[in-house]
Copies of this chain bind each other. A is one copy, B any other.
Amino acid sequence: HMPSVSFRSALSLHTCTTLTLSSLSATRRGLPKPKMSENGVVPRAKVLTIDTMNPTVKNVEYAVRGPIVARAVELEKELSEGMKKPFAEVIKANIGDAHAMGQQPITFFRQVLALCSYPELLNDSTFPEDAKSRARRILQSCGGNSMGSYSASQGIDSVRQDVARYIERRDGGVPCDPDDIYLTTGASDGIMTMLKLLVCGEGVTRTGVMISIPQYPLYSAALAELGAVQINYYLNEEKCWSLDISELQRALDEARHHCNPRALCIINPGNPTGQVQSRECIEDVIRFAAKEGLFLMADEVYQDNVYADGCQFHSFKKVLFEMGPEYSDTVELASFHSTSKCYMGECGFRGGYMEIINMDDEVKAQLTKLVSVRLCPPVPGQALMDLVVNPPQPGEPSYDNFIKERTATLSALAEKAKLTEQILNTVHGISCNPVQGAMYSFPRIIIPEKAVKEATDKGQQPDMFYCMKMLEETGICLVPGSGFGQKDGTYHFRMTILPPRDKLQILLNKVKEFHQKFTKHYS
């Protein structure tokens, strides 16, 4: 069971509060283990036990798929077995899984993937010519013209060229070298790989990595697995989750006493917080990284998910190059993108890329070697990444439908972002910043003292207690703020804005009702 700990220790590397996992193995634990095998021989002790396993793995936490999701899966099973519940279905608003929430894939992308999977279809006259020509181009770049061949470990050449041209267009002509592009198995894989290169040293020389709080828990999980030091800087909830340079400085100065800070991670648009960084803020961050000698990692997987008026996505690469050679010749930057989010939402294909800027040549050779051990990213994911950066062009047969589908998805998301903020802010005890971008709201919730005490007595984080109760009573699966980190004494949850509009409205109203009931009960 979860110990009662304050937020700061809950996020430190040597506790494991968010994910004790007892529920995951409950079924198997329930089976009594025979003390003696059938032939009467006392079994040998296990080689691999919780006490003899890799201790850094034990420190890993990943709340987005933690115990609350395990319970949601159990509830779904219980429902399907006819067990009575106070709800008819479980709604998983815990993870940015667009298609699972009913978002439709882009037709053109799927046509090309079908053509690449089964090239016989190139003779099928119902497929548009532009889909066929994209498929031919991808297949020509594959060994034996098959997606079943390994690609180069860095990714298919022609895909990396297309990525480079996409970045140049996106960044108003700032040049991009395909040799600086590495295709990845989703963005998570690229982030993990970059962190792996950076981590070294022991004790006070151990690599420290700055991450925002709240953060996407891939970062804390990766740092725990690598045994790196996590340096928390807090986003300013009062100013719409903006980033203050003074807070970066505070966090860095404190960290220098006990580790060697070497990298600064930024998520823009923010996950779980949904803010979109201003150009000025990005410039400040780049100046800070340059002054303090930090390697910059920019997680830009939500680059097309910007909804709020007056907000615009600025890539770190573009801003860096527009700041002139003092910065663009020196600041080391890795930026990450993915096929999983934006208007495409193709999480299951595990496609992504990273661009590396100003990386030392010898380190780059080591990076190339490191990725070669895993052979290559999945080729269908590479193909999909290619389509994302090279979609139908004006004049091509699929262009109009592509634009229609993309626009429909992005405007629906924009509408749902607004709806979420509006409804949540009508609830006394819930306050929600505007969802400027990405796919999540991260509202602050007031949890009554009596509920905090009951949770603490149970050894649970108060917001885990709150979310677990909500799941059991309403079937809504959210992730408690403690899984992402939050200021001590504040509580939040992350909720995706992905369910279809009607369903989202019902869901938000159920959250409202639950919160009112919960508050009343514990007041």
Contact = CB atoms under 8 A, between A and B. Distances in A.
A307 interface: no
A413 B355 CA distance: 40
- The quantity of this chain's copies bound in the complex is 2
B100 A143 contact: yes
A504 interface: no
Interface in A64-123: 65-66, 73, 95, 97-103, 105, 110-111, 113-115, 117-118, 121
A188 B373 contact: yes
A374 to B, nearest CB: 6
Interface stretch (A164-172, A364-372, A456-464): A364-372
Nearest to A328: B37
Contact of A153 (B44, B54, B65, B380): B65
A58 interface: yes
B326 A365 contact: no
A175 interface: no
A150 B345 CA distance: 10
Contact of A29 (B44, B150, B361): B361
A179 B363 contact: no
B196 A150 contact: no
A21 B185 contact: no
A354 interface: no
Contact of A148 (B144, B325, B349): B349
B43 A329 contact: yes
Nearest to A156: B348
B103 A144 contact: yes
Given A54-B197, A360-B46, A39 B325 contact: yes
Contacts of A49: 360, 362-363
Contact of A358 (B39, B46, B61, B263): B46
A477 interface: no
